[in-house]
Structure 1
Amino acid sequence: MIKKVAIFGSDNGRVTSDYAIQLLNVLLGHGVEVLLNKTLFDRIAAELPASVKSFSNLYHNRERADMVFSVGGDGTFLETITQVRDSGIPVAGVNAGRLGFLANIHDDIEGSITRILNGRYSIIERYLIELLEPPGIMGKTNVALNDITIQKADLNMIRIKVFVDDLYLNTYWADGLILSTATGSTAYNLSTGGPILSPGDDSIIISPLSPHNLTVRPIVLPGNSHLKLVVEGRSPEYLVTCDFRSVRLPFYRELEIVQPAYRLNTVNVEGQDFFNTLREKLMWGADPRN
């Protein structure tokens, strides 16, 4: 039974605040205790009842929530990962943005929340990807839900040597590489022509960004692969991203990328499915003449 819920929202827009208040009222109406992240709490404090508490970091919060609701778009959903990490707390996404592959509760908030509180939902375990080496460069966690990318930091192309389980795969002459999870396959990977994987797939996709050799195509690797990358180039540094976070690194430092042992539990409300989301968000089967 869901007794305590945390709501996380990072966007400063009024639309996000309105969605958060609507969600809050539905939860309180069902007798659920609610926590809000401090940024969101401070923004709408005047509209909150005294029973609502705030948190700064849910992962270290002593009051463990039974579920987390991310309010915003897919970007906010990705930020929520840093709040739950390996706690196993399931995350549901309320979409106040546009596309919303991850944040897929949008129109009928009250109906969706009622179904969740009545147990009419399933859990999708989503595989993650981790920048193991260098450690700690992204702050709290080097783990991504969507993708890790290596990109040039200026106009000069870079060279990326890739080894899979210590076996040499290729040297990519390109603007960069995307290393994507199944969840991230519908994000940046998709725009480069990479394949779409269903959410429960544990594979890792490597997709080149504007490769110099046009025969170089995306490749799908087993999820237990241990990847080592060495990045070379003419410039002093290159860019590494981990979902919404990014850092600049000097060339020739080895990167290690693996799949962490834990997964992210995401909430799938009864009546939703991945293929329906593809048809809706990507407009598959839609006739542009209508």
Structure 2
Amino acid sequence: MQVALYSRGFITEDISNIRLLLEELKRAEITAIIYEPFFRTLQQHISFEETPTLFSAAEDLPGKIDFLVSLGGDGTLLDTVCYVRDTNIPVIGINFGRLGFLASIGKEEIYALVQALLNRTYVVDQRSLLHLDANIPLFGDVPYALNEFTIHKKDTSAMVKIHTYLNGEFLNTYWADGLIVATPTGSTGYSLSCGGPIVFPDAGNFVITPVAPHNLNVRPIIVPNDNIISFEVEGRSDQFLCTLDSRMETIDNRVQLAIKKEAFKLSLLRLDDSNFLHTLRNKLLWGIDARNAIKI
């Protein structure tokens, strides 16, 4: 079995957990293939008997990778979309970050995770992606996202007007700082912080959420993901920002943009004792009343 390890970086407190993961993988005779920039930093703290196989791009991954493990927070896991692409390699998120909606496996579950990989006692969820079409090349070979697409004003410029269409039919003009189109997975991300609803991951929807709208009667809307959502952008500034998850491009008002459902999905692995309802209760502290902690 071969497992790829990806991380943006780590803090000193994470070294013992990373060492534990490497030891457990070796004990289970699972080969670790490590993201090169991560390895170069890691070898300053952990001694390796020999240099492991390294990768720095999707093309470097061997053809028989069984899993890709993300070490970090949700943002780190979002990066893995650029490496697994349409290969259907399951992605596992060990949460070294804070909230961890996607990277849902705790540091204390590393042993349990390795055993689950060996015994195949895990669950793989299929998460839908969104795809960006544009009249100019944007985002290279990875014009898709797991969480969201956004159009946003640049720097401190004035708000923008985003004319939005569903299958060519006019929906609304958003006067706002920006606009988010989120997948169900992304509904608990940027969209949620802007007042958008929580959507179950297996729902067939997009969530359209304005960012700081000037028209206060404009609210988030859920639309079926078989729609094509297109945009025309205008504003006082000549340039705007366009993002797919954490990746960003600068565009102008001549760029034509459209969002649709991607043809393939991302396989996201979780342990069989965890599900979306458990994550909601745990991460959003549902059912916990702060008044119970007050002592008079």
TM-score scaled by length of structure 2: 0.93
2:6 alignment partner in structure 1: 8
CA deviation string 1:190-215 (max 9, x = no partner): 11111111111221110011111111
Q: Give the deviation of 1:241 after TM superposition.
A: 1.1
- Tell me if structure 1 keeps the 8 A contact 2:210–2:219: yes
- What SS does structure 2 have at the residue aligned with 1:259? strand
**Distance 1:64-1:58 versus aligned 2 partners, 3 A rule:** farther
Q: Which amino acid aligns with 2:265?
A: R
Q: Give the deviation of 1:131 after TM superposition.
A: 1.4
- Unpaired runs of at least 5, structure 1: none
2:56 alignment partner in structure 1: 56
2:30 alignment partner in structure 1: 32
1:188 alignment partner in structure 2: 190
- What SS does structure 1 have at the residue aligned with 2:68? strand
> Partners of 1:53 and 1:135 in 2: how far apart?
36
1:98 alignment partner in structure 2: 98
> Partners of 2:39 and 2:11 in 1: how far apart?
13
Q: Which amino acid aligns with 2:149?
A: I
- Unpaired runs of at least 5, structure 2: none
The root-mean-square deviation of aligned C-alpha atoms, in Å, is 1.5
CA deviation string 1:188-240 (max 9, x = no partner): 11111111111112211100111111111111111111111000001111111
2:74 alignment partner in structure 1: 74
> Partners of 1:109 and 1:136 in 2: how far apart?
40
- What SS does structure 2 have at the residue aligned with 1:28? helix
- Tell me if structure 1 keeps the 8 A contact 2:28–2:114: no
1:200 alignment partner in structure 2: 202
- 2:250 is aligned with 1:248: yes
> Partners of 1:16 and 1:254 in 2: how far apart?
43
> Partners of 1:165 and 1:66 in 2: how far apart?
38
Instruction: Give me the identity figure in percent.
Output: 37
Q: Give the deviation of 1:137 after TM superposition.
A: 1.9
| 270-279 or 146-155, larger mean C-alpha shift | 146-155
> Partners of 2:264 and 2:37 in 1: how far apart?
28
1:280 alignment partner in structure 2: 282
Q: Which amino acid aligns with 2:30?
A: V
> What are the equivalent positions in structure 2 for 1:111-260 lying under 5 Å apart?
111-134=112-135, 136-153=137-154, 154-260=156-262
Q: Give the deviation of 1:52 after TM superposition.
A: 2.6
Query: Aligned pair count?
Result: 288
TM-score scaled by length of structure 1: 0.94
Q: Which amino acid aligns with 2:147?
A: N
- Tell me if structure 1 keeps the 8 A contact 2:122–2:269: yes
> Partners of 2:167 and 2:117 in 1: how far apart?
41
- What SS does structure 2 have at the residue aligned with 1:115? helix
| 108-117 or 55-64, larger mean C-alpha shift | 55-64
> Partners of 1:18 and 1:55 in 2: how far apart?
23
Q: Which amino acid aligns with 1:230?
A: E
Q: Give the deviation of 1:55 after TM superposition.
A: 1.2
Q: Give the deviation of 1:139 after TM superposition.
A: 3.3
